[in-house]
A and B are shown apart, each in its own frame.
Chain A
Amino acid sequence: MTRQVRVKLSALLHRVANWQEVVDVSGETPLQCLEELETRYPDMRKWTRAKDGALLPQLHFFWNGERIYRDELGRQLGDGDELFIGIAVLGG
């Protein structure tokens, strides 16, 4: 069953998502939600994927406000859940 998920994006991703901060997507898992975003906004892949298609390590996911790690990206989401997709920022 497909879930409606609200995805909040890091400020660094707003530009590649037509300057949107929040995007509603359909997806059963966090990974599927990201894939839908990448389909909708192909330029996002420059920020999310390595050349071989692997997820970049600087990508962070938070599910309903809590950090989830790579081995949790296949977890089933609930309808109305929220994801935050962040990019590691490391400047000083």
Chain B
Amino acid sequence: MWKVLSEAELSRYRRQLAIPGWGVEGQQKLRQARVLVAGAGGLGCAVLSYLAVAGIGLIRVVDGDLVELGNLNRQTLYTDADVGKPKAASAKKRLEALNPHIRVEAIVEHLTEANCTELVGDCPVVDALDNLETRHLLNRAALSRGVPLFHGAVHGFEGRVTTVVPGKTACLQCLYQGALPGEVPVVGAVPAVIGCIQATEVVKYVLGIGELLANRLLVYDGFRLTFSEYRLKPDPACTECAPQAGGRVKE
């Protein structure tokens, strides 16, 4: 039995409750939901902000990094006072101030092969990471747990987003086999655009409404201000999700 929304919650969420297919029942689904956000950087700050204000009941944020001054052109959950502090802990404080009706669990750890699957548990996963190796770990954990993975990535003015549904779509291993070397330049607003799309995907998934970016790669070019969409398909030779290639996926 779901707990009734308080007057304060009804007032806070009034503008979204009015959306067809949402309503009080949808808001209760969001409050019951648990979501893991891997990475509290540029993408993560945008995703986390909008999941928090939407009313996701429990957000588990995983990031082992400390806030640096060079993060502040894009990581809007932090201020100069947070420099040197763990991102996950600072994000928790800020998010719970944004919405006191939710809970945020800060996990100040780097994702590793040893902890990744356990941290994912049965939560839908937001991939807001910044490197290929850890993204592949997260992809593997999401596939083995059978939970969706909401992927976003940026470089300069360009961003990409897609949603991985185990057993149904291409996975991150299908999509990525290599990465550009060196530090990634980022225009601050670009991860915000991509992170907001990731947050939109999570909310739709929890509510069970709309169409997900399943087997669809959305490419954002902020320089020319265009969005392009491309169809994805699972790689028959994928080492992670193709059954004949040894991949094991829990559907």
Residues of A bordering B, CB below 8 Å = 8, 10-12, 14, 21, 56-60, 62, 65-67, 69, 71, 84, 86-92
Contact = CB atoms under 8 A, between A and B. Distances in A.
B237 A88 contact: no
B152 interface: yes
A56 B135 CA distance: 19
Contacts of A71: 237
A17 to B, nearest CB: 13
29 contacts: A8-B228, A10-B158, A10-B219, A12-B155, A21-B221, A21-B224, A58-B178, A58-B179, A60-B175, A65-B231, A66-B230, A67-B170, A69-B237, A84-B230, A86-B219, A88-B153, A88-B179, A89-B158, A89-B159, A90-B131, A90-B179, A91-B42, A91-B153, A91-B186, A91-B191, A92-B39, A92-B41, A92-B42, A92-B43
A65 to B, nearest CB: 6
B180 A58 contact: yes
B176 interface: yes
Nearest to B178: A57
Of A8, A66, A67, A86, most buried by chain B (CB within 10 Å of CB) is: A67
6 closest A-B pairs by beta carbon, nearest first, are A57-B178, A91-B184, A92-B130, A89-B155, A58-B178, A57-B177
B24 interface: no
A44 to B, nearest CB: 14
Nearest to A58: B178
Interface string B156-168: 1111100000000
A89 B156 CA distance: 9
Given A11-B224, A57-B177, A58-B179, A92 B230 contact: no
B158 A11 contact: yes
Nearest to B179: A90
Given A10-B158, A11-B157, A92 B44 contact: yes
Contacts of B230: 62, 65-67, 84, 86
